[in-house]
Structures are given as structure tokens and as C-alpha cells.
Amino acid sequence: MPAYKAPLRDMQFVLHELLQTEQLYQQMPKYQENVSLELINQYLEVAADFCENELAPLNYIGDQQGCHLDKGKVKLDVETEDGKCRIVSRPGQSGTVSGILIK
């Protein structure tokens, strides 16, 4: 199975250097104390890890087994369907970063 490596540095470049997200959040009183470069990077790292270790293997399975039509509905392999709803929780410098992906 080919390995997927998320383009983390490219995403950081766009968010930090092109869009300057940290400066944008600092202009919003609600987020001034809560959002930092480190927090944004933690979310990106968790998302990259999730894509590399959870979604990429499912994509490979889906590509190999394909889908089929059942009573007018497209069905995926059971492992693929079940695997697309997972909770991600990773420890970070500012606490635990959590997220969920729902199919």
C-alpha cells in the first residue's frame, strides 16, 4: 500500500505566512487569549496524523474493493463505512486536541 504523507509544511505556510491566521485571530477579542501559532499547529498535526493513519488506509481499501449498488443506494465496504467515523484525541502542549470525522 502506498504511504500518504500530509503536506504539513505547505499547510503551515498557507495558514501562517500567506493568510497570517494568528494575526487575524488576535484582532478578534473572543479569540485573542485562546488562539496561537502553537495551537493552530497542533490542530494541523492531529489532522495530518488522522489523514495519514486513518483515512489513507481506508482509501486504499475502498480503491481495491470498490463499491456496489444495492437497492438504488451506493454501498461501501463495511470496514470503510465504519472507519470513516472516528474520534481523534492527541495530547499537545496546550492540553488535548480532539476532533471527530463523521461520514
State pLDDT tens for residues 34-83.
888 999 999 999 899 988 887 787 777 777 777 777 788 777 655 555 55
In a domain, 51, yes or no: yes
Q: What is the mean pLDDT of the chain?
A: 77
In a domain, 1, yes or no: no
DSSP string, the chain: -PPP---HHHHHIIIIIIS-HHHHHHTSTTTTTT--HHHHHHHHHHHHHHIIIIIHHHHHHHHHH--EEETTEEE--HHHHHHTSEEEEEEETTEEEEEEE--
85 has a pLDDT exceeding 70: no
**Counted domains in the chain:** 1
| Domain assignment of residue 37, given as a range | 8-101
In a domain, 89, yes or no: yes
In a domain, 3, yes or no: no
In a domain, 2, yes or no: no
